[in-house]
Chain A
Amino acid sequence: MLETKDLSYWYTNKEDYLFKDLDLTFDAGISYAIVGESGTGKTTLISLLAGLDKPRAGKILFRGEDIQASGLSNFRRHHVSIVFQAYNLFTYMSALENLMTALSITHSSHNGDRQYAMQMLSKLGLTEEQMKQNVQRLSGGQQQRVAIARAMVCDAPLVVADEPTGNLDEANSDEVMALFNQLAHDQGKCVIIVTHDAAGAAKCDAVLRLKHRELTWQKQPPVPAMVD
Chain B
Amino acid sequence: MNFVKRAWLNLWARKGRSALLILVTAAIMLFVLAGLLLRSAANTAVANAKSSVGATLTLSANREAAFKKMREQMEDQSQDSDSDSDTTPTRPSLTMTPVKLSDAEKIAKLSGIESYNVSVSTSANASGFDVIETSTGTSIMQGGGGFGGRGGFEDNSGDITISGVSSTAGATAFSDGTNTITKGRGLTSDDIGTKNVVVETELAKQNDLAVGDTIKLKSLKTDDAAAKSYTVTIVGIYKAKSSSTAQMGPGASDPANTIFTSYSFANTLKGSDAKNTADSVIFTVSTPSKVDSVQKAAKKLINTSKFSIDSNDASYQMVKASMSSVTSFADKIVWLVAIAGTIILALIVILMIRERRFEIGVLLALGERRGKIIAQFFCELLVVLLVAIGLASAGGQFVGDKLGEQVVASAQTSTTNNAQGGFTRGGGQAPSGDQGQGAPSGQMPGNMGGRASANQAAMQKQAKLSTRITLKDVGLLTVLGLAIILIAITAGAAGILRLQPKKVLIGS
| A interface list, Cβ under 8 A from B | 43, 46-47, 50, 52-53, 73-78, 82, 84, 86, 88-93, 97, 101-102, 104-106, 134, 162
> Would you call B365 and A76 a contact (CB within 8 A)?
yes
Residue numbers in A under 8 Å from B507 (CB-CB): 43
> Would you call A77 and B506 a contact (CB within 8 A)?
no
Interface residues of B in 1-34 (CB under 8 A from A): 2, 5-6, 9-10, 13-14
B367 within 8 A of A: yes
In the complex where A53-B502, A84-B505 touch, is A78 in contact with B358 (Cβ < 8 A)?
no
Of A50, A88, A134, A162, the contact of B362 (CB 8 Å cutoff): A88
Residue numbers in B under 8 Å from A101 (CB-CB): 2, 5-6, 366
> Would you call B9 and A97 a contact (CB within 8 A)?
yes
Residue of B nearest to A71 (CB): B367
In the complex where A73-B369, A92-B10 touch, is A105 in contact with B363 (Cβ < 8 A)?
yes
26 contacts across the A-B interface (CB closer than 8 A) = A47-B502, A52-B500, A52-B502, A52-B506, A53-B500, A73-B364, A73-B367, A73-B369, A73-B370, A74-B367, A75-B367, A76-B364, A76-B367, A82-B366, A86-B505, A88-B361, A88-B505, A91-B359, A92-B14, A93-B9, A101-B6, A101-B366, A102-B366, A105-B363, A106-B367, A134-B13
> Would you call B366 and A76 a contact (CB within 8 A)?
yes
Sorted nearest first, the 6 A-B pairs with minimum C-beta distance are A77-B367, A92-B13, A76-B367, A104-B2, A52-B502, A53-B502
B 475-508 binary contact with A (CB < 8 Å = 1; else 0): 0000000000000000000000000111001110
> Would you call A90 and B505 a contact (CB within 8 A)?
no
B80 within 8 A of A: no
> Would you call A105 and B366 a contact (CB within 8 A)?
yes
Q: How many residues of B contact A (CB 8 A)?
A: 25
How many angstroms between the C-alpha atoms of A82 and B504 in the bound complex?
Answer: 14
B105 within 8 A of A: no
Of B6, B13, B365, the contact of A52 (CB 8 Å cutoff): B365
What is the distance, in angstroms, from B364's C-beta to the closest C-beta of chain A?
Answer: 7
> Would you call B9 and A105 a contact (CB within 8 A)?
no
| 13 further A-B pairs in the complex, CB-CB below 8 A; given A46-B506, A84-B506, A105-B368 | A43-B507, A50-B365, A53-B500, A73-B369, A76-B364, A77-B366, A78-B367, A82-B365, A82-B505, A89-B362, A101-B2, A102-B366, A162-B506
> Would you call B505 and A105 a contact (CB within 8 A)?
no
| B interface list, Cβ under 8 A from A | 2, 5-6, 9-10, 13-14, 358-359, 361-370, 500-502, 505-507
What is the distance, in angstroms, from B6's C-beta to the closest C-beta of chain A?
Answer: 6
In the complex where A105-B368, A106-B366 touch, is A92 in contact with B9 (Cβ < 8 A)?
yes
What is the distance, in angstroms, from B373's C-beta to the closest C-beta of chain A?
Answer: 10
What is the distance, in angstroms, from B4's C-beta to the closest C-beta of chain A?
Answer: 11
Residue numbers in B under 8 Å from A90 (CB-CB): 6, 9, 359, 362
Residue of B nearest to A46 (CB): B506
What is the distance, in angstroms, from A90's C-beta to the closest C-beta of chain B?
Answer: 6
What is the distance, in angstroms, from B379's C-beta to the closest C-beta of chain A?
Answer: 14
What is the distance, in angstroms, from A196's C-beta to the closest C-beta of chain B?
Answer: 15
Query: Max chain B CB contacts within 10 Å: which of A46, A88, A91?
Result: A88
